[in-house]
Amino acid sequence: MSFKTTFWIRFSIFNLMLVALLGLLMRYKILFEFPLLDQKSVQHSHSHFAFAGWVSHTLMTLLIAFLQKHDTLNKIAFKKYNLVLIGNLICSYVMLISFIMQGYGAISITFSTLSIFVSYWFAYVFFKDCKQIETSSVATKWFKAALFFNAISSLGTFALAYMMATKNIHQNEYLASIYYYLHFQYNGWFFFACMGLLLDYLKVTLNSNRIYSQSFIWLFWSCIAGYFLSTLWLDLPLLIYILTAISAVVQVIIWYLLFKTIIKENKSIFVNLPGYLKYLIIFISLALSVKFLLQLGSTIPAVSELAFGFRPIVIAYLHLILLAIISLFLLFYVYANNFVVINKKTILGLILFSLGVILNEVVLGIQGVASLSYTLIPFINESLFGIALLLFTSILWTTFYSKKR
């Protein structure tokens, strides 16, 4: 059995639909009685499956497609990657069900751990196969960095496991471990992999504008220092605080220079995109710019205390990254490369889903800002439920019409 990208991408779209369904269930439970399911358990299922079954599965599939594209001498045996993806999906589906059934229990913890080892397996074979391809694409080092961050993010998970096993849980260490995992997942693994995909799509090579290589170095090191942006609520030493603030400034400057260069040198590519993809990439760029500016703002102690002290703000920020930036970019990339069936129905599904993401972020943002003054917005939960319903139905529609090629 050879590796077929389109086959595995169908699982991606289906898994995104399941993520949206879990999000809808959580919004339903806020408004109505549904005693069969525990809200916290559904939340754990939602987040773990979103990371493993949707984003990581899709990124691994697209990184394998990158190898296929550049394996001009047919040196790589791609059959093993089917086993890697099957292993990841089994872990993802078991986590999806077991977290709902038992929360953090023996089965969910076991398969969460196994999914980490599957990611190690993927990183090992990908690094090994990268040596077999002859390419000048700048994307390779972004992918290697992404997999490095994915590997080290697991240290946060193991720290949590140790605390739970020894029953020696301190609130600050517990939260620091969670944020460590989250940071190196979405600012490391997810972001660097997506940047690699974008730069390869734009055919950026090692001989292209040096800003691409320089930005990689600056963003790599600032990602490591940037972890402490997630722990500013701790009493950090002054030197670490200064380094953290510098990393936030560096990221804003580098993103501005990189964005300007990408637009300037690839106008023809963006101009020739279909209208719906053009607007989508504009929104993703805007969302990413907002994300970097929010990180910079969080270096102000008073702002940081407010941000981490109000759950609606944290939820709005996480959805900004995971939905508005990462998820929409993956859908952009999948559609731009024809990895799904492109027709009026699937285009409509993407447009409606994107609209749902935008509305979701706007309403979550309003809820977050209102929470600062303890202001209750009328019908805010009803609005979020309606948006969750739009997200689910639009991706369900897309899943159904993506079945056949």
What's the whole-number mean pLDDT along residues 316-320?
90
What's the whole-number mean pLDDT along residues 262-278?
90
Is the pLDDT reported for residue 336 higher than 60?
yes
* Paired residues of 379 in beta bridges: none
Q: What is the pLDDT of residue 316?
A: 87
Is the pLDDT reported for residue 189 higher than 70?
yes
Give the three-class secondary structure for 205.
strand
Is the pLDDT reported for residue 160 higher than 60?
yes
Residue 221, CA atoms < 13 Å, CB-side half-sphere: 11
Is the pLDDT reported for residue 301 higher than 80?
no
Give the three-class secondary structure for 169.
coil
Is the pLDDT reported for residue 69 higher than 70?
yes
Is the pLDDT reported for residue 405 higher than 60?
no
| 193 within some domain | yes
Among 338, 332, 340, which residue's Cα sits nearest to residue 283?
Answer: 332
Q: What is the pLDDT of residue 319?
A: 92
- Give the domain extent around 175: 138-265
Helix (H) or strand (E) holding 74: none
Q: Which amino acid is at 76?
A: I
Is the pLDDT reported for residue 172 higher than 60?
yes
Q: What is the pLDDT of residue 137?
A: 86
| 77 within some domain | no
Q: 17: which residues sit within 8 A by CB, 6+ positions away?
A: 392, 395, 396, 398, 399
**What is the tens place of the pLDDT at every residue in 348-375?**
999 999 999 999 999 988 888 887 777 7
CA distance 206 to 338: 26
Using alpha carbons, list the distances in angstroms from residue 219 to 11, 254, 261, 262.
31, 7, 16, 16
H-state helical runs in 233-340:
238-265, 267-271, 275-297, 301-309, 311-319, 328-336
Positive/negative CA dihedral, 111, 36, 359, 374: negative
Burial status of residue 237 (CB atoms within 10 A of its CB: 0-12, 13-18, 19 or more): exposed
| 179 within some domain | yes
| 54 within some domain | no
Q: What is the pLDDT of residue 256?
A: 95
**What is the tens place of the pLDDT at every residue in 225-258?**
999 988 877 778 889 989 999 999 999 999 999 9
**What is the tens place of the pLDDT at every residue in 107-144?**
988 999 999 999 999 999 999 999 888 888 899 999 99
Q: What is the pLDDT of residue 144?
A: 96
Among 304, 399, 396, 400, which residue's Cα sits nearest to residue 24?
Answer: 396
Average pLDDT, the chain: 90
Q: How many domains does the chain have?
A: 1
What's the whole-number mean pLDDT along residues 65-73?
88
Give the three-class secondary structure for 274.
coil
What's the whole-number mean pLDDT along residues 189-218?
92
**What is the tens place of the pLDDT at every residue in 28-57?**
988 887 777 888 899 999 999 999 999 999
| 384 within some domain | no
Q: What is the pLDDT of residue 37?
A: 82
Residue 312, CA atoms < 13 Å, CB-side half-sphere: 21
Q: What is the pLDDT of residue 261?
A: 93
Instruction: Report the percentage of the chain scoring pLDDT > 90.
Output: 62
Per the document, the length of the chain is 405
What's the whole-number mean pLDDT along residues 270-298?
92
| 72 within some domain | no
| 355 within some domain | no
| 225 within some domain | yes
Band of the pLDDT at 309, cuts 50, 70, 90?
low
- Contact indicator for 200, 133 with CB cutoff of 8 Å: no
What's the whole-number mean pLDDT along residues 313-320?
88
